[in-house]
Structure formats: structure tokens, C-alpha cells
Amino acid sequence: MRFVPTFAPRRPEGIRWLRSDGKPNFGDRIHRREGDAKLLATRPVHTTTRTETILEALEKMAKYNVRVLPVVNPANQKLEGIVTTMDFVNYLGGGDYYNIVVNRHGGELISALRKECVESIMNPNPYFVTVTDRLKTIIEKMVLNNVGVLPVVFADGTIWGIITEHDLVRHLAEKIVGKRVEDVMSKNVIYIPSSATLGDALKIMIKYGVRRLPIVEEGGRVWGMITAKDVVKFFGSHDVFRYTTTNRFEEVHEIPVKVVGTPVYYTIEPKADIGKAATLMIEKNVSSLLVVENNKLVGIVTERDILYGLATT
């Protein structure tokens, strides 16, 4: 019997942090921790090109453990687009991009990975910031456009670096903030049962716009997590080829979700200060924490939640 998800729709992230005029309601922490994009950006930035194959880009993401690759012109390093882990999840079976796999490659795994190029799934009009943009502008652009990564470019479009939610959480983090995890967490946790398949996970991620899914055993115990990064690593490290004999995506989609996910996850209590959550995320190098009360999963808090909580009043 196939697993059919029946979750309530998620509201777009960021809405709760906006004033009535549609702008983020920034707190004084933003003014105390100012900085410009050139200083805040992570470097070196790992990039791809329009003509790099899907597999080459997946290999690069897996190697460097990143969830975004800016697409640049190899001749002048000017930004031409962006491709994310969610674009790959979409292509590998989660959404409309999978039609490329079916129609151009007949559902064949190796052909779809080695013969299709990044240009087919990249966003050619990405949001970005310039090296002189200030912290307030950077976070405002993230909030209003619901993005967690922004390429940083010079005035002529040449790539300089990249800014992620993780970079900004690290920049803004304080031990005690005065807001609780329960104030910023998502309570409608979208999860997947441990009996589900990789194909189920891909479809749920795209349908609900989430990059991470708790994997829950029968009875409600959390087994672990599967993230878009896990999916990319599974393909980019070539592990996928160990679990297939037919070279067909149909077989790949039947792989148990626990094969691709990981039993490692971290938890926090709803009453904990978000400063503690930020510190734990930085220490463990994770982008989310499961919120647990009395051994029961009551929510999930992400870097985006923490960032908006740190940045707003």
C-alpha cells in the first residue's frame, strides 16, 4: 500500500515577521551588528556553469556540502543563474522537472544524470546582493523573497561570494535573546513515515516546499531525518548506483527512505531561548532542530526561523 501524505498547507515563511506595510519589523540587534555583504559573505564560493552536467553539479554539491551553486559564465565569472538542492529534488522525481527525465531520457538514470545540463533546471533570474549592500537590506531581501541564500556580486555582476542564513545566524547569535523557540518554530511539522520510499520523500519536499523531513516510526518515535542535502549526497557520491540494477528511476524511487536519510538529529525544548538554539545549530553545523516536549515532537525550528527571530522585534 502506497503512502499518501495528508498534511495541512504551510503558509509562506516570513509572513509573521512583516509589519502591516509589508516590511520586516527589524529590532535593534540589526543596528548593533551591522556589516556589508562583502564582509559577511562566505568565500571561496563553489559555482557551476550552464553546460555542466547534472551529475557533475551533484558531485560538486556533495563534495563541498553546499545546498546552492551559483551559475556563472566561465569566461568572466559573472552571475547567470542559480541552482539549489530543491531544483535537483524536483528533477530527480519530486516535481515538474522530472518530466525532462521521462520525456528526454525515457526514465533512464545514467542518461538523465550524464546527458542533461544544469541550464535545464537552473533559475536564470536569481535574487542577489551587491558587495556594498548592508545587513538590513540582505535580511529584508531574504524575508520578502523567501530565500535562504544570496549570491554576492560586484556592480558588474562578477561573483564575489555567497551569504546564507547560517552565516547571518552566526553573525547575530547571542546566548540570551528573550524569545523562546516556541515563539518562532513551525508547529505543523511535515514528516514522513519510516515505511515510505525515496520517491515519496521527493514528492513531499516539492509539494510542501520543505528541505527536511523527520522520519517517524510507527507509534510516533522519531527515527531520524531526510534532507534535500541527503538526496543530493546520495546521487552526487554515486551511492545511488549501489542500489540499482535496472538503470531505471522507477527502481530508484522505491529505495526505502531510511537508506537515504540519517538517524542523526538534534532536539531542543520549546521553552528554550532562541539564542541557545542558534548556538546549538552553529556547534552541530545543522540547519534545523526538532522541538520536543515530554518526549513528543511538537515542532521544528530552522535557521530561517532563528534568523527572523534574531532580526525582528
Per-residue confidence (pLDDT) for residue 16, from 0 to 100 = 61
Q: How far apart, in whole angstroms, are the C-alpha atoms of residue 193 and residue 201?
A: 10
The model's pTM is: 0.92
* Residue 192, C-alpha cell as written in the block: 514522513
Q: What is the CATH number that goes with domain 23-311?
A: 3.10.580.10
pLDDT (0 to 100) of residue 9? 45
> What are the residues whose beta carbons fall under 8 Å from the beta carbon of 229, sequence distance 6 or more?
61, 65, 67, 85, 211
Residues of the chain with pLDDT under 50: 1-12
Residue with cell 545587513: 135
- Among 238, 207, 80, residue whose Cα is nearest residue 151: 80
H-helix segments, the chain: 28-32, 37-40, 54-64, 85-89, 98-105, 109-114, 135-145, 165-172, 181-184, 198-208, 228-236, 249-253, 257-260, 274-284, 303-311
**Contact of 152 with 34, CB cutoff 8 Å:** no
Predicted pLDDT at 100:
98
Measured CA to CA, the distance from residue 26 to residue 34 in angstroms comes to: 12
Domains in the chain: boundaries: 23-311
At residue 4, the pLDDT reads 44
Whether 181 and 272 have beta carbons less than 8 Å apart is answered as: yes
Residues, the chain: 313
Cα–Cα distance, 141 to 271 (Å, whole number): 29
Residue in 61, 47, 46, 36 with CA at minimum distance from that of residue 154:
36
> What confidence score (pLDDT) does residue 14 get?
52
